[in-house]
Amino acid sequence: MTSPPELIWLLAAVAAILIVATLIGEALRARLSPDGSNPVIENLNARIAAWWAMVVLLAIAFLAGRTGVVLLFAILSFAGLREFLTLTEKAPADHWALAASFFVILPVQYWLIGIDWYGFYAIFVPVYAFLLLPVVSALRGGTKDFLTRVAETQWALMICVYCASHVPALLTLQIPGYEGRSVILIAWLIFTVQFSDVMQYVWGKLFGRHKIAPEVSPSKTWEGFLGGIATAVAAGTALFWITPFTPWQAAGMALVTCLMGFFGGLVMSAIKRDKGVKDWGHLIAGHGGFLDRLDSVIFAAPIFFHLIRYFWSAT
């Protein structure tokens, strides 16, 4: 698979944005926090540095083609599932069910996407894993908190494996007149949703006053929400020419994905609150865990996938 030129342009534009962000971050540090004492500026710079790493990794996967993208998201699913299941209710009787989640369900789901078996990967986790994994736990005994345990494990699989796997699944869509360029759909989706997250953070930090759900997430404000989503929808719309969408369609899709992304952040924050943690993990400096960064993409990807499949795809 050769990389479409639009992809190269998008990656170059993202690199340019990151260069500007890096310069701003360093200037702020030099001006306000030369000794590294301002936690907000240190966190900002850590986030920007992590963004560089994430963009480079994504770019390598994009250039490696379908195998690269499927593999990257399988690894991200693994890391996300590891974070999610760390916090869920479990008993020794669940050991095989949990091991099967990592070493059977996850690889099979990504293998099905790799071979483009839509009829199976669309129902594998919601039907087969849903019905069969609790059987494994039940056979090993232990009924205390049984429903909580199997429900939380299923939730972990739906979020971290099923929903996340819809990002590489975009590569399997056959859109007339858009052959060989479906990797751009992934790039556009991730760019738009993550740009929305970043812009919500920026607008929120600059103008945030009125909290949307203070109990769930103190950092989500109406100012950040409206400003961030408006900016990201504008950016996603401006990129309509790399997508199969008209400008209006691009605006609609950007709005839907950004809203889903916001909902993802909200729901995943509520789960973190419930479990008494601030972040899902610690491996991405400045951001927290993999799920802290991926929550919005995970919520947006399946809806984005199904809208395109219904309205644009030939199959």
Partner 1 sequence: MTAGLPATIPRPVRAAAAFVMGKAISLFARIVTAPRAIWAGIEPTPRQRVYFGNHTSNGDFVLIWTVLPRAMRAQTRPVAALDYWLTSSLRAFIGRDVFNAVLIDRRPEERNEDPVAQMVTALDEGASLILFPEGKRNSSDERLLPFKSGLFHLATRRPEVDLVPVWISNLNRVMPKGEVIPVPLICTLTFGAPLHLAPGEAKDAFLGRASAALLALAERPMA
Q: For binding to partner 1 (CB under 8 A), which residues are involved?
A: 78-79, 81-83, 85-86, 90, 92, 95-96, 98-99, 102-103, 276-278, 281-283
Which one, 96 or 146, has the nearer CB to partner 1?
96
Dihedral sign from CA coordinates of 64, 17, 263, 315 = negative
Dihedral sign from CA coordinates of 178, 180, 181, 182 = positive
Question: Which residue reads 């894993």 in tokens?
Answer: 129
Largest CA distance in the chain: 63
Shortest Cβ 114–partner 1 spacing (Å):
21
Shortest Cβ 127–partner 1 spacing (Å):
23
Which one, 99 or 115, has the nearer CB to partner 1?
99
Shortest Cβ 282–partner 1 spacing (Å):
5
Which one, 79 or 184, has the nearer CB to partner 1?
79
Dist CA 269 CA 185 (whole Å): 27
Shortest Cβ 131–partner 1 spacing (Å):
21
Which one, 137 or 243, has the nearer CB to partner 1?
137
Q: Can you read off the two tokens belonging to residue 156?
A: 């972990």
Shortest Cβ 149–partner 1 spacing (Å):
12
Which one, 101 or 257, has the nearer CB to partner 1?
101
Q: Give residues with Cβ within 8 angstroms of 232, minimum separation 6.
A: 192, 193, 195, 196, 199, 254, 258
Specify whether the backbone of 65 is left (phi greater than 0), alpha (psi in -120 to 50) or beta.
left
Shortest Cβ 30–partner 1 spacing (Å):
28
Question: Which residue reads 């751009």 in tokens?
Answer: 184
Question: Which residue reads 């479409």 in tokens?
Answer: 4
Which one, 98 or 163, has the nearer CB to partner 1?
98
Helices (H), 161-221: 166-169, 183-207
Which one, 71 or 256, has the nearer CB to partner 1?
71
Shortest Cβ 289–partner 1 spacing (Å):
8
For residue 58, CA distances in Å to 70, 71, 303 come to 11, 11, 21
Helices (H), 88-129: 95-100, 106-114, 118-121
Shortest Cβ 124–partner 1 spacing (Å):
20
Which one, 52 or 96, has the nearer CB to partner 1?
96
Q: Give residues with Cβ within 8 angstroms of 112, minimum separation 6.
A: 120, 121, 124
For residue 91, CA distances in Å to 12, 101, 144 come to 48, 15, 8
Question: Which residue reads 């429903």 in tokens?
Answer: 147
